[in-house]
Each structure stands twice: as C-alpha cells, then as structure tokens.
C-alpha cells in the first residue's frame, strides 16, 4: 500500500512552512545571538520568537496548520497520532523546580499534568478528537523519522488509512544549553555544517507534523499530494551514549535497510538531506557514510545552518524540506558552509533540478540511526 503526504504543518526559526522554505532557498539563517537566561552567557540560537517557545503551544500551531493544509474536517475519530519529542516538556519541569516550597502546601493546583513526557501527542490527539491509537516515540535526534516511520507502518499494515505524524521540540532550556556546553558541542558564533571551521551545533526550536494517507484515500478525496514515503530504516549502535560507532556498521545498515524496503538502489537517490549537525563527530561520520554508500556527485545538503538543530524534530523538518524539494524541483542550500572539509557535492546555491527520489538521514544520541526515502509522484 502506497503512503503519501497530503498536509504539513511546520515552524522553525525561519517561520512557518512556506516562509521557512522561501527563506531557506534565499540562503537566510534564523540563528541569532540570544540571551534568554540572564544567568547564562549569550549563545547563537534558532528561536522562533524573542523568548523560548512552549511545547504544547508549538504542537497546537503545527496540528492546526497540518489539518488546514490537508483540507480535512474535524473531528478525525479514526486518525492515529504519532508525535514525538526528545526534550518533551523539560522547560516546564525546570520552571516547576524553581517554585517556592510553599506552593506544594497550597490548595492551588500545580500544572504538572500538562508537562507529561507524551503531552505533545496528547495535545494533538485532543485537538483532532481522535479515538484511535496515540503514540509518542522518543529516539533522541532521530525521533522525527521514527515517528513518521511508525505512522507509515500503521497505514501499510492496513490498520488505518490516515495518520498524523511528526515531532515537536522546545529545547531552549538552561539544562539543555548547559549540558551541550559541558560536552563542548555548542557553537559560539553559528552553525556551519560540514565546514572545516565548524564549531558545533546551534540549538533551534520548532517542529513538523505531517498528514499521512493511503494513496487511494488521498486520490478519492482529491487531495493535493506532496510526495510518497517509500520506506525507512531504523537501527541502533549500542556503542556509546553520544559518539557514533567508528565503523558506522549500524548506520550503514539503517540506510541499506531503507533502500531495500523502498526498492531503490543508491544510484536512484537524487538528493540527500543530511543530519549535518556541524559537530566534529557527526559531520565526519556522516560524510564517510555517504561517500561509502552513494555514487560520487549525489547532491547533499544540511539545513541546520538555517534553522539550528531542532533535536528530536530535526528529522521531521528534514522530511518536509525533502518533500518541498521534490515538489518544486529545487534543492535547499547548505547555509553556513563556506569551506567544505569533505569531498561531497554539497548544495551551495539554489538551482532547478530534475529529481525523483530523496533520502533524509537522522542520527541520535545512544546510537539511534534512521533513514527515510521519499519519491515525487
């Protein structure tokens, strides 16, 4: 059974779906030097607004935008929700930890139920009024691709005909910034994926939620179609909490698995949306993987120099950007890349192309590896 995408809600430091795509093609970056927490040093961040976003508010916006884009009418009683997040409501937990002790003896309610780890999925389910399955996967920075893969499975198994799937992230918190800072993974001036002078990642907030449908159902209702999800691959290294496996064995297996399930060969991939975090380890690991598996000259791009690294939501944004690239036959540039360290065909300037198939990659802490193949219809 073919699975297609008929609606998308997206928000990033570049804007909502259409503004994000236009700004990305124009080579703009939403990353700016910000100082959201007075007790921490200013950092380059991909904020949507002046102050850090709230997870549930982002989720609400993404769901409404996706439903409107797909031209669906609520309620969607038989539509499962698969919406994940890596950080979840960590920002709210951090805020609650600073409440005065007297609040715990007050008769006033403490809003802890709105901070549950799966609250983004619950919010989405309540908004569309579903009585179907609700899932909230978490696979670190591969969460977005895991969520879309699970949504794909729910349709191809014949259980459902339509699924709301994606990921949302509001990671601009004191603990997240401090944690990445202690690891030496944060950039000091900006995000420069695959550049020889790259400094590390820049945290960004946002997300993407997609409406997945059986192709037959989409055609029956005359829906517009962004593209088809061909297949996916998901593996884990079991190697280290944050460093990728040196020989990339499991990551290679994820990509190979994805291509086999999609009935595509490496030479049939016309564009790769790389994870491209601008960290030393990831970019080197990913560049070697691409060189090992794909023919020389396949176009490669990372969009994190424009949006920042949206952690668990990054793969969902990547899939949305791949679908727009297939639909409009334009490839997004690798914003921030000036002096490539690796011998790959990085997209540096926007140009019209003829592409049929795209591959989106994500790699997360704990050795999470994910790949999704997409096709233009």
pLDDT in tens, 309-339: 999 999 999 999 999 999 999 999 999 999 9
Residues 269, 373 contacting (CB under 8 angstroms): yes
In which residue are the tokens 């994805």 written? 258
- Written as one string, the DSSP assignment of 64-116 is HHHHHHHT--S--TT--EEEE-SSTTHHHHHHHTTS-GGGGGSSSPPTTGGG-
pLDDT at position 45 is: 98
Does 79 participate in catalysis according to the annotation? no
| Beta carbons within 8 Å of 251's beta carbon, 6+ residues apart | 235, 237, 244, 245, 285, 289, 363, 369
pLDDT at position 372 is: 98
Q: Answer yes or no: CATH 3.40.50.620 is held by domain 3-375.
A: no
pLDDT at position 115 is: 78
Given the residues 258, 285, 309, 322, the one annotated as active site: 309
Given the residues 141, 258, 322, 360, the one annotated as active site: 141
Burial 211-235 (b: 16+ CB within 10 A, else e): bbbbbebbeeeebebbbbbbbbbbb
Q: Which alpha helices (H) appear in the chain, and where do they start and end?
A: 17-25, 55-70, 90-96, 119-128, 143-156, 174-183, 215-220, 249-262, 280-293, 304-307, 314-328
Where along the chain do its domains lie?
Answer: 3-375
Does 309 participate in catalysis according to the annotation? yes
pTM for this model (two decimals): 0.96
Given the residues 275, 285, 322, 360, the one annotated as active site: 275
* φ, ψ dihedrals at 99, nearest 5°: -65, 150
Give the whole-angstrom CA distance, residue 347 versus residue 335. Answer: 9
pLDDT at position 94 is: 78
In which residue are the tokens 């997206």 written? 10
Mode of pairing for the β-strands spanning 15-16 and 3-12: antiparallel
pLDDT at position 299 is: 97
Give the whole-angstrom CA distance, residue 329 versus residue 125. Answer: 34
3-state SS class at 25: helix
3-state SS class at 284: helix
pLDDT at position 365 is: 84
Q: Write out the chain's pLDDT in tens, 377 residues.
A: 899 999 999 999 999 999 999 999 999 999 999 999 999 999 999 999 999 999 999 999 999 999 999 999 999 999 999 999 998 888 877 777 776 777 666 676 667 667 788 999 999 999 999 999 999 999 999 999 999 999 999 999 999 999 999 999 999 999 999 999 998 999 999 999 999 999 999 999 999 999 999 999 999 999 999 999 999 999 998 777 766 777 789 999 999 999 999 999 999 999 999 999 999 999 999 999 999 999 999 999 999 999 999 999 999 999 999 999 999 999 999 999 999 999 999 999 998 889 999 999 999 988 899 999 999 99
């Amino acid at each position: 059974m073919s699975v297609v995408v008929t609606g998308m809600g997206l928000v990033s430091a570049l804007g909502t779906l259409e503004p994000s795509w236009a700004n990305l093609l124009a080579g703009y970056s939403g990353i700016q030097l910000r100082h959201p927490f007075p007790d921490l040093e200013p950092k380059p961040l991909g904020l949507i607004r002046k102050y850090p976003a709230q997870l549930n508010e982002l989720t609400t916006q993404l769901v409404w935008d996706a439903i409107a884009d797909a031209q669906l009418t609520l309620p969607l009683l038989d539509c499962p929700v698969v919406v994940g997040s890596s950080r979840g409501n960590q920002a709210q937990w951090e805020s609650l930890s600073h409440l005065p002790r007297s609040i715990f003896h007050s008769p006033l309610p403490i809003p802890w139920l709105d901070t549950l780890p799966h609250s983004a999925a619950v919010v989405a389910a309540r908004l569309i009024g579903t009585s179907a399955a609700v899932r909230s996967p978490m696979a670190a920075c591969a969460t977005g691709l895991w969520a879309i893969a699970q949504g794909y499975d729910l349709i191809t198994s014949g259980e459902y005909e339509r699924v709301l799937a994606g990921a949302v992230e509001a990671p601009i918190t004191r603990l997240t910034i401090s944690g990445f800072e202690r690891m030496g993974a944060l950039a000091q001036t900006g995000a420069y994926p695959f550049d020889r002078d790259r400094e590390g990642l820049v945290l960004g907030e946002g997300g993407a939620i997609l409406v997945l449908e059986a192709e037959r159902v989409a055609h029956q209702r005359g829906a517009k179609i962004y593209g088809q999800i061909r297949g996916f691959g998901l593996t884990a290294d079991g190697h280290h909490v944050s460093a990728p496996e040196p020989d990339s064995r499991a990551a290679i297996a994820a990509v190979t698995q994805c291509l086999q399930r999609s009935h595509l060969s490496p030479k049939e991939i016309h564009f790769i949306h790389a994870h491209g975090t601008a960290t030393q380890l990831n970019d080197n690991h990913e560049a070697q993987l691409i060189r090992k598996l794909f023919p020389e000259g396949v176009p490669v791009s990372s969009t994190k120099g424009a949006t920042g690294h949206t952690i668990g939501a990054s793969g969902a944004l990547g899939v949305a950007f791949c679908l727009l690239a297939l639909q409009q036959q334009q490839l997004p540039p690798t914003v921030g890349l000036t002096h490539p360290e690796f011998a790959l065909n990085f997209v540096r300037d926007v140009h019209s192309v003829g592409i049929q198939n795209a591959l989106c990659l994500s790699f997360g802490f704990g050795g999470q590896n994910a790949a999704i193949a997409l096709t233009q219809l």
